[in-house]
Amino acid sequence: MKKAKIVALGKWLPERILTNVELEKMVETSDEWITTRTGIKERRIASSDITASDMAYLASKDIARNEPIDLIIVSTSTSDTIFPGTACLLSERLGLSNCACFDLSAACTGFSYALECGRRFIEAGGSKCAIIVASELTSKFINWKDRSTCVLFGDGAGAVLLKGADKGGIIGSYFNTNGKLGDILKIPAGGSKMPASLETVEKNLHTIQMDGPEVFKYAVLAMSEAIERVLSNHSLSVNDISLFIPHQANLRIINLLSKRLKISDEKMFVNLNRYGNMMSASSVVALDEAVKSGRIKEGDLILMVAVGGGFTYGATLIEW
């Protein structure tokens, strides 16, 4: 059976940079608070006319060119519309036909879940050439008056091209969910439970609501569990992994994870200082930058790990 292998990567980030210093003028915060509590210095914000499918297109157009793509999975929690799915809109933009398309919603863990779905399509022979995309336009779902959330998030998109290969590829994964924690990170309104109304808009219920300290605690535990399970399933140790790509939400979360699992700083990829938390796009943008900056070489073992609303979490082991 062929393994699913990432053979190309792409990303797109809005040009507009929103710095911590600018945020000081918008809410009662400081560069010092944001930097020491999160590690974030700046994030990208898309212009108001951009949609999640635009970003997905810009991230994937170069890797999709001239490829016989038969599957598109888009991870997004900020889709253009409830339906049609962003993946369907993307197939049209890319000029593709004969292509299965669907969106996947698993908050910040969404890219890992989408990659796993793509892997299983390929391994089962249901797809020969897939693009897996994460596109998150978080800025349109932020309450810009809430300092506890607006300093954390940013916009961005990333994409990978997945094909069957005899050598290398995705070799293992672990996924889990704790549905009891659904309430600590959510967008309450806009779904069937609380459809849009004057009241939901007035109360800002279409924006991200989070119990930060609870999310923080659980994020460290969940990512530790996911890493440990993948490593033990493959009789590997931390030393066998060349690079860890953790979800980019907070540098303190990443540092605690390193400390718990005795992972050296050089083996933890971090770019959240430049982008903030781009939800599911964080993992794939980080992977793209790690590959293109030479941090990942052929034959390396890479472990991606993510956690997010749901509470979803998971890890993916890749032989590059």
**108 touches ligand UT7 by CB under 6 A:** yes
**203 touches ligand UT7 by CB under 6 A:** no
Handedness of CA 141, 144, 148, 153 (dihedral sign): positive
- Give me 279's structure tokens: 């939800």
Which residue in the set 24, 35, 37, 168 belongs to the binding site for ligand UT7 (CB under 6 A)?
37
**217 touches ligand UT7 by CB under 6 A:** no
The interface region with ligand UT7, picked from 28-36, 65-73, 112-120, 125-133 by CB under 6 A, is 28-36
Handedness of CA 73, 76, 81, 83 (dihedral sign): positive
Q: Minimum distance between the CB of residue 136 and ligand UT7, rounded to whole angstroms?
A: 10
CB neighbours of 71 closer than 8 A, spacing ≥ 6?
A: 99, 100, 101, 118, 121, 126, 127, 129, 130, 131
**Contact, 100 vs 69, CB < 8 A?**
no
> Is 277 an annotated catalytic residue?
yes
**Contact, 15 vs 35, CB < 8 A?**
no
Which residue in the set 95, 179, 195, 213 belongs to the binding site for ligand UT7 (CB under 6 A)?
213
> Nearest-CA neighbor of 157 among 181, 135, 140, 179?
135
> Judging by DSSP bridges, how do beta strands 209-210 and 3-12 pair with one another?
unpaired
- Considering only residues 1-20, where is the footprint of ligand UT7 by CB under 6 A? none
**38 touches ligand UT7 by CB under 6 A:** yes
> For the chain, what's the residue count?
320
Which residue in the set 2, 7, 17, 29 belongs to the binding site for ligand UT7 (CB under 6 A)?
29
Q: How far apart are the C-alpha atoms of 161 and 5, rounded to whole Å?
A: 8
> Is 108 an annotated catalytic residue?
yes
The interface region with ligand UT7, picked from 5-13, 26-34, 161-169, 193-201 by CB under 6 A, is 26-34
The interface region with ligand UT7, picked from 80-88, 145-153, 262-270, 287-295 by CB under 6 A, is 145-153
Which residue in the set 7, 17, 24, 33 belongs to the binding site for ligand UT7 (CB under 6 A)?
33
Q: Which amino acid is at 106?
A: A
Cross-strand pairs, 277: 153
> Is 101 an annotated catalytic residue?
no
Closest-by-Cβ residue to ligand UT7 is 212
**249 touches ligand UT7 by CB under 6 A:** yes
Residues with a known catalytic role: 108, 247, 277
* Residues of the shown chain interacting with ligand UT7 in the complex, contacts defined by CB under 6 A: 29, 33-34, 37-38, 108, 147-148, 151, 185, 212-213, 215-216, 219, 247, 249-250, 253, 277, 308
